[in-house]
Amino acid sequence: MVEAQLGFYHHPPQLLDGLEARARELGIDLSSIDLDAITLPAGEDLDTPSDDDEILQNEDPPEVEMGFANTIVVDNLPVVPPEKFEKLGNIIRKIFSRASAIKEGGFWMPVNADTNVTYGYCFIEYNTPQEAQLAREMGNGYKLDKSHILVVNIFDDFERYMKVPDEWTAAETKPYTPGENLHKWLTDENARDQFVMRAGTYTEVYWNDARQLSSELIYQHQFWTDCFIQWSPLGTYLATLHRQGSQVWGGEDKFVRLMRFAHPQVELIDFSPGERFLVTYSSHKPSNPRDTHKVVLNIFDVRTGKLMRDFKGSSDEFTIAENIVFSGVPWPCFRWGGGKDDKYFARLGKNTISIYETDTFSLIDKKSLKIENVVDFCWSPTDPVVALFVPEMGGGNHPARVSLMQIPGKEELRQKNLFSVSDCKMYWQSNGEYLAVQVDRYTKTKKSTYTGFELFRIKERDIPIEVLELDNKNDKIIAFAWEPKGHRFAVIHGDDPNPDISFYCMQAANTSRVSKLTTLKSKEANALYWCPTGHFILIAWVKGFTGKLEFYNVDELETMATGEHFMATDIKWDPTGRYVATVVTAVHEMENGFQIWSFSGKLLYKLSKDHLYQFSWRPRPPALLAPEKEEEIMRNLKKYSKKYEQEDRDASNQMTEQERVKRTQLEEEWAAWVAKWKQLHEEDHSHRIELRDGDASDEEEEYEAKEVEVEEVVGIIEEVVAFELDH
């Protein structure tokens, strides 16, 4: 063969001369040969080196992934004949493609050759083990129907299961290792509170060290979340959102990941009041623009990460027109009831309220509550009682109504019919003692509306209802707020920009009826922020430019202080009610940052932070003291406060000493700087005399100022100008 006679395959340039000579000896015309098409016998290189040999020797050998870590086994499927094979396969693909894209040709459902029906399981292959793990977490326990709850395992796990010995042996007893102390932050010796801040790409957690008039950084993490962060209601966890799902963090000295919750493209989350459950939400655009968004809602157990229940469907199934908030779905979609026990949750549907119990995550009595035309409901903060609102129907023949219903018995406790209703809002007091219903009614001409309040006394016999009308019932209601754990409420009413603010009490002296305490006239305000412990309120103008603040003592009915935070967008009380933060977020391009104030209105310190997206205090769990013990502490507060007053004085003295040392240091630096320049001034004395033509004095008063005019020719330009004489 020509290839063998030539004696080589790969021909570097330096061998071309030899190639041509050898070809002439053999009588071969090289121009007639395609050298690139020449191949060597298998396994033979005829001692000709390859250009790639050195590269391959220097490269690390490729890692070969052994096993089937990217494959899952889905068991407990229905056993179906050939005519249902395609339908079942499409359903399974749809379920498991939510975790990630299934590898092409990666779905296989074996068929029994004898009976020609499926075996009841299938194999699904993904591109990576991580995707398979996510699919296992999402699909395991999925309820396909009443008889088929899916069991999902990683294929590689079967090898581990096969190694389980036939004979039982006692498990090795391992020494106890304590887990993360999730409440260590509550034991701070200075009783400080924490807050989290998300600015730019960084998320940071701080101590609020008001005694030192500063904040202390605890933890910093860049790109910690893809979207936003959220504390759990009792402050135990901090949640972050990611493309694959949500995570919760906590711990003693730093935040460690405690649990993951798989939910691709998650957009929103919500904790139950007792932190037992986490609700995650995602909305997916349909391929057909005429269709509505597809909604996925998952409810997880926070401690175990187990998926307890999921809800899927179009956005139309989760809302009614009056409540569209986020991608066509109100948020939070589920509202929790039963107090801190997280016993019930409910959602609003068309003509229904679906109430579920968390013991089984199924509907109470296996059916939704049918209420024609219901548009809103809310739970009592402490008891399993639902307040619901139904507007007028039939052109006014059927009046609007507000009803109170006991759960789980669905017994109606109280009902109030309302006429000529334009709108209705419901406000529960934090202890569940009162319910205020703000009712906007049409006038007789139907051309305008006026507002009144229906006040329910929930804890009293037969739940009496009082009607409250403002002095000017035509006043527009701008804001309403109950005093936390108290019996008072405040209302901003009137016309912008200077409405009035009225305070009322449900238990005034010598009367069991609601009574007005006072009205503050013409205040520049649009929001009310009660101190978490009551007694004090911050009256503010937010989401505007003025940022006016007024700190008001409701016990004494007097203003303690006024202030201003230009362009403030948010106001946040710390959970103890000692401090309040006013915040300017990235809603505005300028002035981003926060200011910390005392409850009485003293500005303590402030911090600027560019691109500030979130500021949130860490919540505290309820006190473990009995109400009687709290009352005793309040009675003897002066005795207990002596210790802390001394600590405050010590901290103040320490700050005074630190400030004195700082001022002394600045004075010494200034004196050294002045001495340095005086020395340089003396060293230049002879040079200055020379510049003054021998005059030795440096005093300006001894010189006579003279003005000298100097003329200087800058330049001459000659130009010939043509002109004509008149004839």
CATH of the domain at 91: 3.30.70.330
**Helix-strand-coil percent breakdown of the chain, rounded to 5?**
20, 35, 45
Q: Are 123 and 111 in contact (CB under 8 A)?
A: no
For 64-81, what is the mean pLDDT?
Answer: 83
Share of the chain above pLDDT 70, in %: 87
Q: Could you report the per-residue pLDDT of 165-192, keeping only the tens digit for each? A: 888 888 888 888 888 889 999 999 888 9
* pLDDT at position 58: 44
Backbone CA torsion sign across 517, 522, 527, 531: negative
% of the chain beyond a pLDDT of 90: 54
Query: In the prediction, which pLDDT does 48 show?
Result: 42
Classify burial at 460, counting beta carbons within 10 Å of its beta carbon; exposed 0-12, middle 13-18, buried 19 or more: exposed
Full residue range of the structural domain in which residue 77 is found: 71-163
pLDDT bucket at 357, cuts 50 / 70 / 90: very high
Measured CA to CA, the distance from residue 615 to residue 246 in angstroms comes to 20
441 falls within a domain: no
- The residues, any chain, with a CB within 8 Å of residue 468's CB and separated by 6 or more, are 452, 453, 454, 455, 504, 514
Greatest Cα pair distance in the chain: 138
What's the one-letter identity of residue 48?
Answer: T
Q: What is the pLDDT of residue 375?
A: 92
pLDDT confidence of residue 659? 78
How many CB atoms neighbour CB 272 within 10 A? Answer: 24
pLDDT one-digit tens code per residue, 112-142: 999 999 999 999 999 888 788 888 888 888 8
pLDDT score for 18: 56
Average pLDDT over residues 384-410: 90
* CA-wise closest residue to 3 among 29, 37, 47: 37
Dist CA 333 CA 289 (whole Å): 24
pLDDT at 67: 66
Mean pLDDT of 67-91: 91
The pLDDT value recorded for residue 128 is 84
309: amino acid identity, one letter:
R
pLDDT score recorded for residue 687: 84
pLDDT at 6: 34
Task: With respect to residue 597, please indicate whether it lies within any of the assigned structural domains.
Answer: no
pLDDT > 90? residue 646 = no
- pLDDT of 44 higher than 50: no
The mean pLDDT value for 254-273 works out to 93
Is 328 buried (19+), middle (13-18) or exposed (0-12) by CB count in 10 A?
A: middle
On the question of pLDDT at 327 being above 70, the answer is no
Q: Can you tell me the mean pLDDT for 699-716?
A: 76
pLDDT in tens, 303-324: 999 989 888 888 777 776 444 4
**DSSP letter string, 383-438:** SSEEEEEE--BGGGTB-EEEEEEETTTTEEEEEEEE-SEEEEEEEE-TTSSEEEEE
**Mean pLDDT, residues 613-620:** 96
CB 473 within 8 A of CB 438: no
Average pLDDT over residues 86-114: 90
pLDDT of residue 321: 45
194 within domain boundaries: no
Query: In this predicted structure, what is the pLDDT of residue 312?
Result: 83
pLDDT at 290 over 70: yes
- Angle between helices 637-683 and 627-635 in degrees, nearest 10: 60
Per-residue pLDDT, averaged over 443-465, amounts to 92
CA-closest candidate to residue 377, choices 407, 357, 342 = 407
Provide the domain count of the chain: 1
Residue 36 within a domain? no
Q: Which residues, at least 6 apart from 146, have a Cβ–Cβ distance to it below 8 Å?
A: none
Sorting pLDDT into bands at 50, 70 and 90, what band is 330? Answer: confident
Extended strands (E) in 76-213: 107-108, 121-125, 143-145, 148-149, 151-154, 193-199, 202-209
Nearest to 338 by CA among 276, 286, 389, 248: 276
What radius of gyration do the chain's Cα atoms show?
A: 39
Predicted confidence band of residue 47 (pLDDT cuts 50, 70, 90): very low
Is-contact 220 204, C-beta < 8 A?
Answer: yes
d(CA 344, CA 335): 8
The neighbouring-strand residues paired with 467 are: 454
Tally of CB atoms within 10 A around 356 = 20
Q: Has residue 98 been placed in a domain?
A: yes
Determine the 3-state secondary structure of 666 from DSSP: helix
What is the Cα–Cα distance from 278 to 302, expressed in whole angstroms? 6
Examine residue 128 and state whether it is found in any structural domain, yes or no: yes
Mean pLDDT of the chain: 85
Q: How high is the pLDDT of residue 624?
A: 84
Residue 63 has pLDDT above 50, yes or no: no
Task: Report which secondary-structure segment, H or E, holds 651.
Answer: helix 637-683
Q: Which of 586, 581, 594, 592 is nearest to 613 (CA)?
A: 586
Phi, psi at 267, each rounded to 5°: -115, -35
70 exposed, middle or buried (CB, 10 Å; 0-12, 13-18, 19+)?
buried
For helices 85-96 and 129-139, the axis angle rounded to 10 degrees is 110
Q: What is the pLDDT of residue 26?
A: 65
Instruction: Please report the pLDDT score of residue 613 as a whole number.
Output: 96
Pick the range with the lowest mean pLDDT from 3-7, 36-40, 631-635, 693-697: 3-7
Task: Report the distance separating Cα 654 and Cα 185, nearest Å.
Answer: 24
| Own/partner long-range contacts of 347-354 (Cβ < 8 Å, ≥24 apart) | 347/318, 348/319, 348/320, 348/323, 348/374, 348/375, 348/376, 348/377, 349/317, 349/318, 349/320, 350/320, 353/377, 353/386, 353/388
